[in-house]
Structure 1
Amino acid sequence: MEVATLTKTSSLSLPADSYIYKILQIDSNLAAISSDDSLRIIDSTSLKEIAGGILKNVHAGVTCLEAPENDKNVFLTAGRDAVVRSWDLRDNRSPSKPVRQYIESHSDDVTELQFHPHSRGTLLSGSTDGLVNIYNIDHSDEDDALSQVANHGSSIHHAGFLSNSQFFALSHDETFSIYQLESQDNLAPDVAPHVFGDLRPKLECEYIVDIIPHIGSGEAILGAGSHSKHHLDLVPLQYADNWSFDQNITIRLPGAHGEEIVRSMLINHDAQTIFTAGEGGLIRAWRTSAENAQEHMQEAETPTETEKPKKKKKKKKDHAAGDEAKGRFKPY
């Protein structure tokens, strides 16, 4: 197992007890959405907000963020009102007017948005209603836009494209399945999903952060976290005859975010840096290094100067002994 070293922790102007839901790479910067319904643009080197880089009230109860690779001025957000919105950051005259709205395809909170890696008009959304939808956003009419619906059977935490022809669904109770993308002519027979079930006993973890695919390589990275043991493992998901996990080449982030849940992770291969964000409102940067790993393990668990001491939160009833997992998997 390779061990990563903590290199930097952010200091953002977030309200107290804010969660960061997702971080996203945008050229040389990061974008982040948080529980105060803001979208923030952050310098990836200093982990500080750039000047004018805070857009407030981007959504009523924002839960997810996505950006097309070919236009870094456009973002998609979605949230608890089951609405998908597209924003153009250059439109100063009417910044509250969305380019597209699909408001009937989900009946509950939208928790995930992703574009297809090679078909930029193809959008995926996931929701706590248990559905993963595929849209052709060239159509403004919602009925024409919706092309495929997969019913995962439980509340969607994350979903996304694993390849040009496959997408995955990960639920809040950590069940994981891989689905086949339907062909446009609808003549191909239906392919049954590859059902992994609950990943926690398989990967010896307490929760799953997300799955980051490397399209075209037959590989993806899954974040498996343990808030009680204070670490996050990056586990490879690989395709040979089928998709499977290889725990022999796991990378561990010791300390992670302490007792706080890691909500999002990002791998910048060019900078050889791993970014994580969590419920403590912090973003952290990591580098893989086998040398002096033990020396940094204690340091990673020690609060930095940018971290303010937090009051101990009272545990909810569903966090009591014997029912801890049930409380953990409540979305947002």
Structure 2
Amino acid sequence: MLPFTSTLTSAISSPEGTYHYSLARTGAHLAVISSDDHIRVIDPSSLAVLSGSTSPIHDDGVTCLKSLNEARGDIVATAGRDGAAKLWDLRQGFGTPVKVFRRNGGPILSLDACEGRGLLAVGTELTGTNAEVVVWDLEGCEKMTYVESHNDDVTHLSFHPTTRELLLSGSTDGLVNIYNMTITDEDEALHQVINHGSSIHHAGFLNDTAIYGLSHDEVLSVYKLADPDEDVEEPAPVNFGDVRGVLGCDYAIDVLLRGRRSSGTGILVVGSHERQWVDLHSLKIGEEGKWGLGGEEAVRLVGGHGEEVVRCLYLDDASATVFTGGEDGLVKAWKPAS
């Protein structure tokens, strides 16, 4: 296991007791959303705050952050419990968003955006009998709404990496749905329904044909995207079970995606409270064409965020640096110990 040590630590000018929820690349910088309902842009070489909001960016709690163009990094999207999604131009600051998307439904819990396709999607908390998936174009025109496909909170959304019409949603009802957005009827639009069996924490596409599901009870599985030819029998999922027993961790944080347009490699990030580390394990296809988890190439962030939960992580391949944010109110940068 390759050890990484913390080279930089910063509270990024946030109040004591702040949790950091999400990290995103914005050109040469990083953006962070936090439990004080602010967004900050930081310099990854020093963790100094370069800019940020002077007041809460959502009326009832920010929940999501997405960069629309990591390389250029000028536009980011956020969403919140106020039922709104917003686009921000970092060149103009955080005084006024350049676009606001709003629903009368419940608080927004998940978001994905794709500038190349001109689309933004949100998933809502269950309100009454509805948990919605809503897709807009980036001009603000609502394109489609799915209100019957989930019966609990929509916790994760992901556009397919190459097939423009496919959108994935995951929910605490245990389902992972894939929609064909070119079909208007909701029932007909369901390209595939996967029953993971327990509440979905994260889900997405590992590559063009593989889907992962990670539940709140730390169960990880990999599924095959359904072939449009109904005569083709899909293979059984690869079920890794509860990763706490497999990897000796206390909780799973996220699955990071690498090489999405080719063979597809995922990185499962897990943590330990008592032993105070964060580990990064590969999730990839082996020589025999089977998905495998873990291996000698695992990375350990020695010390982690102490006994506190790590909420978010960003891996910068170019600089071989890992950035983490946690419930201890700190953002950290990590590099190989050697």
Looking at structure 1, the residues matched to 78 and 224 of structure 2 have their Cα atoms a distance apart, in angstroms, of 25
Selected match of 2:257 from 213, 222, 235:
213
Distance 1:284 1:228, change over 3 A: same
Q: Residue 272 of structure 1 aligns with which residue?
A: 320
3-state SS of the aligned residue for 1:21? strand
Q: Is the 8 A contact 1:12 1:49 kept in 2?
A: yes
**Could you list the per-position Cα deviations for residues 59-101 of structure 1 after superposition, in whole angstroms to 9, with x for gaps in the alignment?**
74544433444885555556668x7x65332495774334653
Q: Is the 8 A contact 2:15 2:36 kept in 1?
A: yes
User: TM-score if structure 2 supplies the norm length?
Assistant: 0.73
Looking at structure 1, the residues matched to 151 and 2 of structure 2 have their Cα atoms a distance apart, in angstroms, of 43
Distance 1:149 1:5, change over 3 A: same
Q: CA RMSD, aligned part only?
A: 3.2
Where in structure 1 are there 5+ consecutive unaligned residues? 291-332
Higher helix share: 1
Q: Residue 333 of structure 2 aligns with which residue?
A: 285
Q: Is the 8 A contact 2:39 2:52 kept in 1?
A: no
Looking at structure 2, the residues matched to 251 and 87 of structure 1 have their Cα atoms a distance apart, in angstroms, of 35
Distance 1:218 1:89, change over 3 A: closer
Q: Residue 309 of structure 1 aligns with which residue?
A: none
Higher strand share: 2
Distance 1:59 1:272, change over 3 A: farther
**Could you list the per-position Cα deviations for residues 90-145 of structure 1 after superposition, in whole angstroms to 9, with x for gaps in the alignment?**
49577433465346244333332333223455433322222223345577886676
Letter of the 2:276 counterpart = H
Selected match of 1:233 from 279, 291, 300:
279
User: TM-score if structure 1 supplies the norm length?
Assistant: 0.74
Distance 1:122 1:284, change over 3 A: farther
3-state SS of the aligned residue for 1:248? coil
Letter of the 2:199 counterpart = S
Aligned pair count? 288
Selected match of 1:156 from 200, 206, 222:
200
Q: Residue 251 of structure 1 aligns with which residue?
A: 299
Q: Residue 86 of structure 2 aligns with which residue?
A: 87
Distance 1:194 1:46, change over 3 A: same
**Is 1:46 matched up with 2:94?**
no
State which drifts further: 209-218 or 120-129.
120-129
Where in structure 2 are there 5+ consecutive unaligned residues? 103-119, 122-133, 135-144
| Identical amino acids, percent of aligned pairs | 43
Q: Offset at 1:221?
A: 1.8
Looking at structure 2, the residues matched to 28 and 138 of structure 1 have their Cα atoms a distance apart, in angstroms, of 35
Letter of the 2:306 counterpart = G
Q: Offset at 1:5?
A: 1.7
State which drifts further: 146-155 or 95-104.
95-104
Letter of the 2:295 counterpart = Q
Looking at structure 2, the residues matched to 279 and 48 of structure 1 have their Cα atoms a distance apart, in angstroms, of 19
State which drifts further: 215-224 or 94-103.
94-103
Distance 1:60 1:132, change over 3 A: farther
